[in-house]
Structure 1
């Protein structure tokens, strides 16, 4: 009985202050919330003709769900919606609690998705046309103030038909919206957030990806570039962990994967070459390091410092050869 009363109090507390204010941001936009059925990852992505849309619209928590709150946006729907779902409410139940206590609900557009892939979506009757949403298995797409009424269908088709990981499918949906000319005002900012299926309690481990383009002439294009950079640096991070654990072969493989994505990136070239040295593949490492040193001699200076930190394990003779490149 006590737990039931606490839950009722908690829901009542969360539902407070859902009042429409004319000062609320004018974040008309299109977005998608989705679950990757294979990995359990949950993601939300958005684009708008508004500065820093990601800081207002998208929210997520590992092992709980994701939320997109837009139109005349009430950002409280994000944390409050997640809190309600974390308490065990289904997305539809959580959304109904918040809408029931929001005098501005006619202006809201909100989508919620939980760890089971269940969704709930609301498009208020006073959202600016073209406005609408579409839900499918493990996803919901929603848009308002679009130039045409074809945006949500295009986003849904793109997400359903694209094969790949979650971030690529989310990006496919955003690009499909833009091909339909998207926001009637144009484009300015975009963001993507992906959280893991299981929570560790450490935010830096529970969030797989969180990227924002705050202000750009081509935010979708820039966000897609950042997603690719993120993937490459994920390999770099795994390489760093392998180096820390003394597994230079795995480190070499990880750094090579990153380098193959961005062949001109000196950082990726450098750590790949360092691990070639650690794996006694000296002849392969030397020409790479020579090219790097000729581009920026600071990398040569850094190389000598790696020995003391035990990240470069070569003989004095090999180190001398490297330093004289």
Structure 2
């Protein structure tokens, strides 16, 4: 079931045609052929342009995708060039080399050292490949991190924790590619992740998440969540999570194992156990690695807000959340930071 949501709060304020997007992730799933991207930024007036989603990311279903950010043109000509090169068969590393040597953002009169890119694709044999680039003139703090299936990048960040949290959440989250991308975004859900939003007490002003299945047509993804722009002081990643939970609960398979969700994971102070509305749960338990029960809640019915569990007393390590319904028991792993 395809879902396309748009949360529109377009504040028609002045908008600078540079530094679009501050932290983002692009990733592929070799097992399913899915390609996805997620990101956020603190830019006033971005809602007038429909948010970030169509400015800084583009995806070829079943093949790969590119995130192009920092001092971009609108429309993003370098992003278009990167996708053309991917279609022509270039690898992520080759695409980066092409972009550095053929910067196409002439209207800005900026050189490639201002740019930032993240690329992930599947080669002709279905093997994942990734590459990233951060120019030395992009705004600090800036960096990019690559794994086997993903590239995480950011600029104008509070510090390196933004990127390492995103990477850790992506790698330590069970589930499909969309689950992992949403978890990565939660890793940056703190005040000042984009340093420009520190005084507002939010990570950013706009956020998005998009996932294409291998069989999706270009421009028609299975999942497209777009928080165009939030009012001053309201957190867009929270709104993105609400839309994502709504999407998950709308899926036709309402079995317990496919619809129970825990976020954030890894866990800091508290986490939520989300279930389909009106799902009766006999008990929710949390066990540490030794099998000791550290939490118990009985007679719980699934609500939109889910069950909030305070984990501040938990020591760092791996825990197991066991959810028991009248029909069956389902166990999920969480990591306490």
Structure 1: segments with no counterpart, 5+ residues: 1-22, 239-251, 265-325
Q: Which residue of 2 aligns with 1:71?
A: 70
Q: Which residue of 2 aligns with 1:194?
A: 211
In 1: Cα distance, 2:99 partner to 2:85 partner: 9
Q: Which residue of 2 aligns with 1:211?
A: 225
Q: TM-score if structure 1 supplies the norm length?
A: 0.62
RMSD: 2.9
Q: Bigger radius of gyration, 1 or 2?
A: 1
Rate the CA distance shift 1:200–1:182 in 2: closer, same or farther, 3 A: closer
1:15-30 aligned at under 5 Å gives the runs 24-30=17-23
Matched-pair contact (CA < 8 Å) for 2:21–2:40: no
Q: Which residue of 2 aligns with 1:169?
A: 180
- Cα deviation for residue 203 of structure 1 reads 4.6
Rate the CA distance shift 1:153–1:119 in 2: closer, same or farther, 3 A: same
In 2: Cα distance, 1:200 partner to 1:159 partner: 23
Q: Which residue of 1 aligns with 2:92?
A: 91
Q: Which residue of 2 aligns with 1:184?
A: 195
Larger % of strand: which?
Answer: 2
Could you report, residue by residue, the CA deviation over 1:225-257 in whole angstroms, capped at 9, with x for unpaired residues?
11122233342xx9xxxxxxxxxxxxx99xxx8
The 3-state SS of whatever aligns with 2:144 is: strand
Q: Which residue of 2 aligns with 1:108?
A: 115
- Cα deviation for residue 222 of structure 1 reads 0.6
Matched-pair contact (CA < 8 Å) for 2:21–2:56: no
Q: 1:58 and 2:57 equivalent?
A: yes
> Which residue, out of 15, 20, 39, partners 1:46?
39
- Cα deviation for residue 37 of structure 1 reads 3.2
In 1: Cα distance, 2:181 partner to 2:55 partner: 18
Matched-pair contact (CA < 8 Å) for 2:113–2:137: yes
- Cα deviation for residue 34 of structure 1 reads 0.9
In 2: Cα distance, 1:120 partner to 1:93 partner: 9
Could you report, residue by residue, the CA deviation over 1:254-274 in whole angstroms, capped at 9, with x for unpaired residues?
xxx89x73459xxxxxxxxxx
Q: Which residue of 1 aligns with 2:131?
A: 120
The 3-state SS of whatever aligns with 1:178 is: coil
> Which residue, out of 265, 276, 281, partners 1:261?
276
Q: TM-score if structure 2 supplies the norm length?
A: 0.60
In 2: Cα distance, 1:147 partner to 1:203 partner: 33
Rate the CA distance shift 1:38–1:181 in 2: closer, same or farther, 3 A: farther
Query: For this pair of structures, how many residues does the alignment match?
Result: 224
In 2: Cα distance, 1:45 partner to 1:158 partner: 13
Rate the CA distance shift 1:201–1:220 in 2: closer, same or farther, 3 A: closer
The 3-state SS of whatever aligns with 2:160 is: coil
1:207-286 aligned at under 5 Å gives the runs 207-216=221-230, 217-235=234-252, 261-263=276-278
